[in-house]
Chains A and B, each alone.
Chain A
Amino acid sequence: MRAEKKLRVLVAKPGLDGHDRGVKVIARGFRDAGHEVIYTGVHQTPEQIVSTAIQEDVDLVGLSCLSGAHLFLFSEVLRQLREQGADDITVIGGGIIPDEDVLRLKDAGIREVFLPGTSLDEILKWTEENVCPASSGQEPAR
């Protein structure tokens, strides 16, 4: 699938989780669709993820977690984005996440959660429909 509009995307692995296959698949998928992807490797703190998202002015942050610590880590990223006035950035997630937690994460502000088995096309389609490039040159929200 080829994207209509070029986005800047950060894909990140918060916490101690070392499963990085999925996140790499996602990074490559976004690249092949024509997006610019910043990948920062495993073991990122929420603080690192948030300051990277801001410095790189990304449109989308994709968090990946297979270790079970998603509730705390994802919410913490959201909280810090808000604190920095950067909650206009869309945040999605994926990994091993139980159904009841999917709902909690969405309540907390994660826009969508993609579980194992989701095809890249589904993820790209969702992105195409739900994320717009920051109107360039405009002042960021604060």
Chain B
Amino acid sequence: MTTETIDRIISGDVRSAARLMRGIEEDTPDALKTLETLYRHTGRAYIVGITGAPGGGKSTLVDALIGAFRRREMKVGVVAIDPTSPLTGGAILGDRVRMQQHCTDPAVFIRSVATRGWLGGLARAAVGMMHVMDAMGKDVVLVETVGIGQQEVDVTRLAHTSLYVLTPGSGDSIQMMKAGILEMADIFVINKADQEGAYRVKMELEAMMAMQGEHPEAHEQRQPPVLLTEAVYGKGVDDLCQEILKHRDYLLSYGLMQKREHERVRLELAEALEAALKALIDSRTDHELYESLVDDLVQRRIGPQSAASQLIGRLSRT
């Protein structure tokens, strides 16, 4: 069954791919096994991350970028991530509303994902979906994520090129931009450039990058360009697409692609290891002891560190 599924997915079958993605989200052993086999067929797609505050126009930009890549005859996958409501566990996945003009193009595959319980970052589900699209033969996979929490940092690490989207209204928020983003974004996009103040934001951003000078940990000695776009009117989007491809050429010609790929894979391995360890620990924890330690903590008879050590000392061996 697995080999058949693999063959179907590689030949681009949408239903099989969509169903596998569902299994990946649900963490079913079958799906994870299939994904594991599929891994050998991945590694060709170019991953572009798009992050930034809600409402900045990321989905609209993704829609326009799909068009720009299609004009270059590239096949496109999209993974659009929206938050799960912590209260109800439900979600309204609305990114797709902006992308519907492309949904009947057989070379385009759009998938919405809810963050579910992911604590930090872009958990394995989204990464798994990128792999499925990669294996389906998509040339480029666009990953849109909400710029909150750890997600924006993780998407920049998992992508080959990461875009950070700002708007003219976000002048103040530049100062607030999370540490790390400035170094990790490869291209800054100031969308809604039809609104006043886009140039001012561009100048502030460039000034900030200049001030920071050469960051010792930056991947490359390259100043990220700042582009202006009007996603709803499609303005500046072709230039943005060009800039993404230029960044790819840059990574290739300076031998940086290999380095990025190593970093990407390292992160994937770290996440897989973390999940596996967590599952292992969960399955071997002495639950009685756990509960009694909780009581001890409540009574302040013991601190959390020593409680954890005790639990680790008592992990069962089977």
- Residues from chain B with a CB closer than 8 A to the CB of A137 are 19-20, 22-23, 26, 28-31, 34
Could you tell me if A40 and B100 are in contact, using CB atoms closer than 8 angstroms?
Answer: yes
Stretch among B89-97, B167-175, B205-213 lining the A interface: B89-97
Could you tell me if A38 and B15 are in contact, using CB atoms closer than 8 angstroms?
Answer: no
Q: How far is the CA of A134 from the CA of B103 in the complex (A)?
A: 22
Could you tell me if B19 and A57 are in contact, using CB atoms closer than 8 angstroms?
Answer: yes
Q: Which chain A residues (20-53) contact chain B, with CB distance < 8 Å?
A: 27-28, 30-41, 44-45, 47-48, 51-52
Could you tell me if A52 and B23 are in contact, using CB atoms closer than 8 angstroms?
Answer: no
- Residues from chain B with a CB closer than 8 A to the CB of A142 are 15
Q: Which of B20, B22, B90, B94 has the most CB of A within 10 A?
A: B90
Q: How far is the CA of A27 from the CA of B22 in the complex (A)?
A: 20
Q: How far is the CA of A142 from the CA of B30 in the complex (A)?
A: 19
How many residues does chain A have at the interface if contact means C-beta atoms less than 8 Å apart?
Answer: 37
Contacts A136-B26, A142-B15; A52 near B103 (Cβ below 8 A) = yes
Q: How far is the CA of A6 from the CA of B111 in the complex (A)?
A: 17
- Residues from chain B with a CB closer than 8 A to the CB of A57 are 15, 18-19, 21-22
Question: Which of B19, B85, B91, B109 interacts with A140 by CB under 8 Å?
Answer: B19
Q: Nearest-CB distance from B255 to chain A (Å)?
A: 37
Question: Which of A36, A136, A139 interacts with B90 by CB under 8 Å?
Answer: A36
Could you tell me if A134 and B92 are in contact, using CB atoms closer than 8 angstroms?
Answer: no
Question: Which of A48, A85, A86 interacts with B103 by CB under 8 Å?
Answer: A48
How many residues does chain B have at the interface if contact means C-beta atoms less than 8 Å apart?
Answer: 38
Could you tell me if A35 and B90 are in contact, using CB atoms closer than 8 angstroms?
Answer: yes
Which A residue sits closest to B97, measured CB to CB? A41
Q: Is A54's beta carbon under 8 Å from chain B? A: yes
Could you tell me if A28 and B92 are in contact, using CB atoms closer than 8 angstroms?
Answer: yes
Could you tell me if B90 and A37 are in contact, using CB atoms closer than 8 angstroms?
Answer: yes
Could you tell me if A39 and B97 are in contact, using CB atoms closer than 8 angstroms?
Answer: yes
Q: Nearest-CB distance from A51 to chain B (Å)?
A: 5
Residues of A near any B CB (own CB < 8 A) = 2, 6, 8, 27-28, 30-41, 44-45, 47-48, 51-52, 54-57, 84-86, 134, 136-140, 142
Residues of B near any A CB (own CB < 8 A) = 1, 4-5, 14-16, 18-23, 25-26, 28-31, 34, 84-85, 88-94, 96-97, 100, 103-104, 109-112, 114
Can you list 19 A-B contacts (CB < 8 A)?
A: A6-B89, A28-B92, A31-B91, A31-B92, A32-B90, A33-B90, A34-B88, A34-B89, A37-B90, A39-B93, A48-B100, A54-B14, A56-B96, A85-B15, A86-B15, A137-B20, A137-B30, A137-B34, A138-B19
